[in-house]
Amino acid sequence: MTTTHLGQIFHVAGRPVVTEAADALTWIPDGALVLDGAGTIVYCGPRDGRPAARTPGSAERIHDHGDGFLIPGFVDAHIHFPQTYSVDAYGGGQLLEWLETCIFPAEARLADPGFAQQIARDFTARRIAVGTTAAMVFGSAFPHAQDALFDETRRAGLRLVGGRGIQTVGGPASAPLLTTEQQAIDLTADEISRWHAADSGDVSSALLHVAIVPRFSLSVTTETLAGLGELYDDVRDRGVYVHTHLNENNRLGDGEIDLVKRSYEVDSYLDTYDGRFLPGSRTGGAGLLGRRTVMAHAVHCTDDELTRMAETGTSIAHCPVSQLFLGSGTMPWKRTVAAGITIAAGTDVGAGDEWLISRVLSDAFKVHLSEPGAGSVAMHPAEMLFTATLAGARALDMENRFGNFDVGKEADFLVIRPERWTPLESILRQGIRADDEVTARDQTLFALLMGLREPAIAEVYVRGHRVRT
């Protein structure tokens, strides 16, 4: 028995890079997405052409979503679980003040197991509400909070890559989040052994994966980084991930980037994650870069840093909503794309005050169009959809499993019902559309992505299963 979802389909097919996304954009107004019993896509195309329509009498369960849209599930490549309640927190400054004033105290509250349970439930519910079917999740310092997160995620049936936030040094507000160097390594190793692929026992079919997550270079030391590099060498082959922040805030003199370079005496911020964390950027241990490593922000990278990320397969989680919120600047889109790095989208909740990935792409469109001079670019709607979906799957090294509707992939998708959000319905119905079909298609997708709000996300599916709170 197959299951068929009928609706208007948008996805970016195949394995394009972002600059090829427009050519790979697929729009099927009278579409059908057909799944087998395991939730694998066996057909994506016009409804009249689906196998059951051509073979009368064959068993088929049909979900007709009417005028609804079917798009791949959103991938959030950078989101902070312990900051679920910290969206819109006023810190009276940029990154470092906001961390001290708002974030470290908020994250310390997860020391209470009851609170940790509650925030894990609410975080998971928020993810479902906004259709984030897969996420790279920056975790809590507290193992019981991480257990609650993994438990809730497994119960819901969402995908998660994540790990406990590692901090071994910091100011007074961070004290409750700190561990010794040895504890940092031991707790991370323990999390990997207990949660990596814990749902299926096999990384190639798991929904749950663990990442090694040093908060950022200012929260750890050369000793921590050396220990984590050694640990990563041991577990890399098991499909473990790495996630951290890079080159986010460059306020001159006392911003994050200057402080990293000054305190480690290194040439570049990236060197600290690349095993070159000793003074003069001398090698002090194994590095953390690779195809399962995702760097959040990467706003202010040098050419050498971009080249190094590209050659190691390291990806970027692009978080423009957060960058606006904290005054961090704008990641140069054209230059970063030209470097050949996979750029996925991240909310960076709670510095990002939007949970919905399409809102991140909305701000991306605005900030990149506003880049000075030759940097200014109007992102194509297909590039926006790509960055929100397939690029995220690629950054999580699971492009072979989800991210679009290619036959053989696991069916992660959203059902969007415009009638549930009147402003969206009206722009889709009444907006001006070009006479030529391709421009009209692009305009429709742009309106859908820009106008989408949470109430219009009617149903969320992971691997063919409806996800509910």
Sites of contact with ligand GUN (CB under 6 A): 80, 95, 99, 103, 215-216, 245, 248, 322, 348, 351
- In whole angstroms, give the CA distance from residue 323 to residue 299: 9
Residue 256 touching Zn ion (CB under 5 A):
no
Q: Residue 25 — left, alpha, or beta (φ > 0 → left; ψ -120 to 50 → alpha)? A: beta
Angle subtended at Cα 213 by Cα 242 and Cα 86, rounded to the nearest 5 degrees: 130
Residues paired with 161 in a beta bridge: 136, 209
299 makes contact, choosing from ligand GUN, Zn ion, none, with CB < 5 to 8 Å by partner type, with none
Cis peptide before 350 (omega within 30 of 0): yes
Give the position of tokens 């940097």: 375
Nearer to Zn ion, 296 or 411 (CB): 296
Q: CB of residue 244 vs ligand GUN: minimum separation in angstroms?
A: 8
Nearer to ligand GUN, 153 or 322 (CB): 322
102 makes contact, choosing from ligand GUN, Zn ion, none, with CB < 5 to 8 Å by partner type, with none
Q: Residue 20 — left, alpha, or beta (φ > 0 → left; ψ -120 to 50 → alpha)? A: alpha
Q: CB of residue 18 vs ligand GUN: minimum separation in angstroms?
A: 23
467 makes contact, choosing from Zn ion, ligand GUN, none, with CB < 5 to 8 Å by partner type, with none
Q: CB of residue 72 vs ligand GUN: minimum separation in angstroms?
A: 26
- In whole angstroms, give the CA distance from residue 255 to residue 248: 9
Map residue 7 onto helix, strand or coil: strand
Q: Which residue, 395, 458, 399, is CA-closest to 11?
A: 399
Q: What is the per-residue binding string for Zn ion in 165-184, x denoting contact by CB under 5 A?
A: --------------------
95 makes contact, choosing from ligand GUN, Zn ion, none, with CB < 5 to 8 Å by partner type, with ligand GUN
Q: CB of residue 245 vs Zn ion: minimum separation in angstroms?
A: 6
216 makes contact, choosing from ligand GUN, Zn ion, none, with CB < 5 to 8 Å by partner type, with ligand GUN
Q: Which residue, 64, 65, 22, 26, is CA-closest to 45?
A: 26
Letter for the amino acid at 26? T
Q: CB of residue 60 vs ligand GUN: minimum separation in angstroms?
A: 46
Nearer to Zn ion, 13 or 87 (CB): 87
Q: CB of residue 17 vs ligand GUN: minimum separation in angstroms?
A: 27
Nearer to ligand GUN, 81 or 150 (CB): 81
Q: CB of residue 99 vs ligand GUN: minimum separation in angstroms?
A: 6
152 makes contact, choosing from ligand GUN, Zn ion, none, with CB < 5 to 8 Å by partner type, with none
Residues contacting 244, CB < 8 A, separation 6+: 213, 214, 215, 216, 217, 273, 288, 295, 296
Q: CB of residue 299 vs Zn ion: minimum separation in angstroms?
A: 12
C-beta nearest to ligand GUN: residue: 351
Angle subtended at Cα 94 by Cα 299 and Cα 250, rounded to the nearest 5 degrees: 35
Q: CB of residue 351 vs Zn ion: minimum separation in angstroms?
A: 6
215 makes contact, choosing from ligand GUN, Zn ion, none, with CB < 5 to 8 Å by partner type, with ligand GUN
99 makes contact, choosing from ligand GUN, Zn ion, none, with CB < 5 to 8 Å by partner type, with ligand GUN
Nearer to Zn ion, 170 or 375 (CB): 170
- In whole angstroms, give the CA distance from residue 417 to residue 410: 22
- In whole angstroms, give the CA distance from residue 75 to residue 6: 23
Nearer to ligand GUN, 132 or 328 (CB): 328
Q: DSSP secondary structure string, 226-283?
A: HHHHHHHHHHGGGT-EEEEEES----TTTSHHHHHHHHHT-S-HHHHHTT--BGGGB-
Nearer to Zn ion, 348 or 383 (CB): 348
Nearer to ligand GUN, 280 or 327 (CB): 327
Q: CB of residue 165 vs ligand GUN: minimum separation in angstroms?
A: 8
Question: How many residues of this chain bind Zn ion (CB under 5 A)?
Answer: 2
Query: Cα dist. 312→16, 78, 269, 293, 398 in Å?
Result: 19, 19, 16, 9, 17
Q: What is the per-residue binding string for Zn ion in 340-359, x denoting contact by CB under 5 A?
A: --------x-----------
Nearer to ligand GUN, 5 or 164 (CB): 164
- In whole angstroms, give the CA distance from residue 246 to residue 269: 7
* Sites of contact with Zn ion (CB under 5 A): 296, 348
